[in-house]
Chain A
Amino acid sequence: MDLISTPLHDAFSPYALSFVFAAMGLNIHYGYTGLLNFGQAAFSAAGAYAMGVAIASFDLPLVVALLLGVVGAVLLALVMGVPTLRLRADYLAIVTIAVAEILRLVFSTSFKDYFHARDGVSGFTLGFRSLNPFPDLPNGFLSFSRNDLWVITVGWILVVLTCVLVWLLMRSPWGRILKSIREDEDAVRSLGKNVYSYKMQALILGGVIGAIGGFIGGLGLASVQPDSFNTDFTFIAFTMLILGGAARVMSPAVGAVLFWAVLSFLGVALTKLSNGDNPIIPSDLMSPDQVGNIRFAVVGLVLMLLMIFRPQGIFGDKKEIAIDAR
């Protein structure tokens, strides 16, 4: 374990990538449109499970499986959005969190022939791995395996492409409408825009981006398990978004990388400090097996300080926040 390479490894890992996409989706929902989606985990889960089951149980080609994942995310967005997007913002928040939990419980208890309960779905990575162009490196980059290297290469290329797409969209009149909806729906309605339709488009787009996170995470871990998609998943993604600064193209990616790097660094450092015969941190203050929890507490503290001293996040625009109240 190394203080530099381990955090770097974790920050660029497939696992971190799945959060980058989740946070990028939330950036569309919350950052640009002001939609409170607390069920982003459901979109990633829908993508991952659709892909996994389509390959593992039905032997479908990878491309078809991915398309099914996208369709799954679109359907989920419709299920969440149709009943709620005409109502006040709170209703979407409640429905998304409920749908995400219901979906997770369905995956972990029902249709065991396909979802395999808590064990999850596996055996779907062959098609993807067969496309891997990398040679077998004995001591690969940041000690990533050959398979990991392939997943993160594809993943980070997709991150860049998604960022470009988001940037193109948000400088367009379409993006202008989303940003206006975030501020005042009624003003947008009074100018003849169908607010409901734009909110739905935003929900679908962010959901599909979240599903891509499900693909990457699933391919990286070579399995899809229900417990990875609990409510923590969504809230960690939200945290990353806020850390980077909402409504900025790059902020979800930077926020996610930073979050994992700090978390991983704290893990390594605290473990080093509390280990050994004569640890620097006395064992009655903290034992090595408490590191996992303590590091989250420290991250929480850092976040609180950030919110107090830099509420707009790392990339956010101070001006945008300052002029608000009147």
Chain B
Amino acid sequence: MPDDMQDTRSRASDLVGVDPEPGVSKKDPIVVVDGITRTFGGLRAVDVDHLEIQRGVITALIGPNGAGKTTFFNVLTGFDQPDTGEWTFNKKSLKGVSASHVARLGMVRTFQLTKVLSKLTVLENMRLGATGQRGERFWAAPFRFLWKAEEDSITVRARDLLGRFNLAAKEGDFAGSLSGGQRKLLEMARALMVNPELIMLDEPMAGVNPALKQSLLGHVKSLREDGMSVLFVEHDMDMVRDISDWVVVMAQGRVIAEGPPASIMADQRVIDAYLGAHHDTDITEIEESVLAAEVEAELRADDEETR
């Protein structure tokens, strides 16, 4: 629909003109974070002063291993309690709200280490994702006619998603028999069964093959077209560059930079802390040997200096 197109274009354009500064405020944030800290013993795993996640766009959260990305996810979704801090989702404070309630409010996350229910079939895993089912109430559960119709429509939705995630042929298998990448896919599809407003994906593409990755990227983009907000953690810079509208960089628990992908990839702090100097060159064999020669020369120079 042209109306919708208009809508999404304006949403992405909400970010135009927003300063690429850590903690910058945005036009229509879905999540607003203030002063969240989480320490493990002496280690400050998360220490975020202020962060806003824009509604209706795809935001990437990147940073080195141990930067605190997963811990930040855990805190936001009620799976972990912060030492200090406040945060809101759709202007509602989520402090002290239970994880299941957070999900029902429309903020659904997946796990870096997948949590598929291996003794349920793939289809049952998917059905579990639908919220507010009548048959989930004790007094209605024994009477199938009360929930059969709803279960059928849930199944239709589940099959549709399984098809898009290349899992249709697996629907009758135990989820425990899936490969690592397939589990990632199932978990993402299952999270979508909740119909979230904001979906938070912790390394969704880890271990997914390139061809499928391409089609899933398309799928994530279509979620955005449908008005869903996406926040994802990913180490694959191609994916970040390809689909994200905004990138937030964490290092040692702090947000050190945020901005559009292009400006982030060029940001010297980000390159130093995370990307490395040659992050965006596709390294061919010849270039590699040139590179090796350069490094060697540098080393030799260093050697001579110290001598």
Q: Tell me how far the C-beta of B199 lies from the nearest C-beta in chain A, rounded to whole angstroms.
A: 11
B119 engages A179 (CB within 8 Å): yes
B127 engages A173 (CB within 8 Å): yes
A177 engages B110 (CB within 8 Å): no
Cα distance A114–B238 in the bound complex, in angstroms: 76
Q: Which size bracket describes the interface of B in this complex?
A: 35 or more
A192 engages B131 (CB within 8 Å): yes
A179 engages B142 (CB within 8 Å): no
In this assembly, does A175 line the interface, its C-beta being within 8 Å of a C-beta of chain B?
yes
B141 engages A190 (CB within 8 Å): no
A190 engages B111 (CB within 8 Å): yes
Q: Tell me how far the C-beta of A208 lies from the nearest C-beta in chain B, rounded to whole angstroms.
A: 12
Surface stretch bound by B, among A48-56, A74-82, A164-172, A262-270: A164-172
In this assembly, does A187 line the interface, its C-beta being within 8 Å of a C-beta of chain B?
yes
Cα distance A165–B143 in the bound complex, in angstroms: 10
In this assembly, does B115 line the interface, its C-beta being within 8 Å of a C-beta of chain A?
yes
B99 engages A173 (CB within 8 Å): no
Please, which residue of chain B has its CB at the minimum distance from the CB of A195? B100
In this assembly, does A285 line the interface, its C-beta being within 8 Å of a C-beta of chain B?
no
B100 engages A193 (CB within 8 Å): yes
Interface residues in B104-135 (C-beta closer than 8 Å to A): 104, 108-111, 115-120, 124, 127-129, 131, 133-135
Q: Which residues of A are found within 8 Å of B142, using beta-carbon distances?
A: 165, 168-169, 172
A192 engages B138 (CB within 8 Å): no
In this assembly, does A128 line the interface, its C-beta being within 8 Å of a C-beta of chain B?
no
Q: Which residues of B are found within 8 Å of A318, using beta-carbon distances?
A: none
Interface residues in A294-326 (C-beta closer than 8 Å to B): 319-320, 323-324, 326
A326 engages B118 (CB within 8 Å): yes
Interface size on A (CB < 8 Å)?
31
Cα distance A188–B107 in the bound complex, in angstroms: 14
Binary interface encoding of chain B residues 70-104 relative to chain A, with 1 for a CB under 8 A from any of its CBs, else 0: 00000001010000000000000000001111011
Cα distance A179–B141 in the bound complex, in angstroms: 14
In this assembly, does B165 line the interface, its C-beta being within 8 Å of a C-beta of chain A?
no
Please, which residue of chain B has its CB at the minimum distance from the CB of A164? B142
Interface residues in A160-213 (C-beta closer than 8 Å to B): 165, 168-169, 171-177, 179-180, 183-184, 186-195, 201, 205
A201 engages B138 (CB within 8 Å): yes
Other A-B contacts than A193-B100, A193-B128, A319-B174, 15 sampled, CB-CB below 8 A, are A172-B144, A173-B127, A176-B127, A177-B128, A186-B111, A187-B117, A188-B128, A189-B103, A190-B77, A190-B115, A191-B100, A191-B103, A191-B128, A191-B190, A324-B176
Chain B interface (Cβ within 8 Å of chain A)?
77, 79, 98-101, 103-104, 108-111, 115-120, 124, 127-129, 131, 133-138, 140-144, 147, 151, 174, 176-177, 190-191, 193-194
Q: Which 10 pairs show the lowest CB-CB distances between chains A and B?
A: A174-B141, A192-B103, A173-B135, A172-B141, A187-B115, A168-B142, A323-B176, A192-B104, A189-B99, A192-B131
A-B contact pairs, 23 of them (CB 8 A): A172-B135, A172-B147, A173-B128, A173-B133, A173-B136, A176-B124, A183-B119, A183-B120, A184-B117, A187-B111, A187-B116, A188-B100, A189-B103, A190-B79, A190-B109, A191-B103, A192-B131, A192-B194, A193-B136, A194-B98, A319-B174, A323-B118, A326-B118
